[in-house]
Amino acid sequence: MYDRIAFTWLPISDVARARRFYEVTLGLQVGSHGGAGAMAWIEYDLPGGGCRALFNGVPETLPGGSVVFEVMDLDGEVARLRDLGVAFDADVIHSPLCRMIPLRDPDGNRLMLYQLRDQTRLQPASYGLIGKLTAQPGRGAELAAILRTGCAATPGCKAYRVAVEATDPDVLWVTERLVSRALHAASLQLPAVQAAIAAGRPLIASMARVAETTG
């Protein structure tokens, strides 16, 4: 019923100030982020697992944060808890990536239930792809930056890494792990991926599919 702790969430009042602290002072790498104004969020995925998320949509809760539990059926779990007498702090909150609802434990600690709109993110990876790209001379860093805007936020993508060969900065290795081959094919048609392909193509001297794995 409760699949995992998706992330720990902290409310913020000043997005720019918070980002300077987490990204410059602490040195965390920004991941998924979006929104604007009074509905902005930023996530920082940690290398060893776990995610710290910041959100400015409910400043009245400052200070303090929430532990966010990921569930597959938000509506069903909310109904079950209401039948048991659990009161929620607000109605369901909608975002482009998920739906959430806040509640508290008996000691007043803040919790949140969270359901992804893209349920493929909870499915295991069964398809892998390793590609080798050689950039035009001196354009490796530029090409790597474009490639890193690719698969990571697309449906079904479990892992996406662009690595630079140690002996040649113009040789890049792209490793992808996805839920299925079909989702990989579908991802190539997404506007953001199409834009990355169009921007990167003039910088590529050669490319090769080195390995493809299943299971």
Domain residue spans in the chain? 2-117, 122-214
Q: How far apart are the first and last CA of the chain?
A: 25
Q: Which residue(s) pair with 98 in the sheet? A: 116
pLDDT band at 22 (very low <50, low <70, confident <90, very high): confident
pLDDT band at 172 (very low <50, low <70, confident <90, very high): very high
Mean predicted confidence (pLDDT) in 81-103: 88
Q: Which of 63-67, 98-102, 162-166 has the highest mean pLDDT?
A: 162-166
Instruction: Name the pTM for this structure.
Output: 0.49
pLDDT at 18 over 90: no
What is the spatial distance between Cα 12 and Cα 153, in angstroms, rounded to a whole number?
24
Report the chain's mean pLDDT, rounded to a whole number.
83
Q: Which residue(s) pair with 102 in the sheet? A: 112
Q: What is the pLDDT of residue 165?
A: 96
Mean predicted confidence (pLDDT) in 25-50: 79
Q: What is the pLDDT of residue 79?
A: 93
CATH architecture assignment, domain 122-214:
2-Layer Sandwich (3.30)
pLDDT at 135 over 90: yes
What is the spatial distance between Cα 15 and Cα 147, in angstroms, rounded to a whole number?
27
What is the spatial distance between Cα 72 and Cα 130, in angstroms, rounded to a whole number?
31
pLDDT at 169 over 90: yes
Mean predicted confidence (pLDDT) in 15-37: 83
pLDDT band at 167 (very low <50, low <70, confident <90, very high): very high
Nearest to 31 by CA among 120, 142, 157: 157
Which of 102 and 64 is assigned the larger pLDDT? 102
- Of 2-11, 94-103, 148-157, the range with the lowest mean pLDDT is 148-157
Q: What is the pLDDT of residue 203?
A: 95
pLDDT band at 119 (very low <50, low <70, confident <90, very high): low
pLDDT at 51 over 90: no
pLDDT at 59 over 60: no
pLDDT band at 215 (very low <50, low <70, confident <90, very high): confident
153 CB-near residues (< 8 Å, 6+ apart): 32, 192
SS3 121: helix
Q: What is the pLDDT of residue 96?
A: 75
Q: How many other CB atoms are found less than 10 A from the CB of residue 191?
A: 7
**In this structure, are strands 110-116 and 66-71 parallel, antiparallel, or unpaired?**
parallel
Q: How many other CB atoms are found less than 10 A from the CB of residue 144?
A: 20
Angle between helices 140-147 and 191-200 (to 10 degrees): 170
- Mention the CATH class of domain 2-117: alpha beta
2-117 against 122-214: fold identical: no
- Using only the alpha carbons of the chain, give its radius of gyration: 20
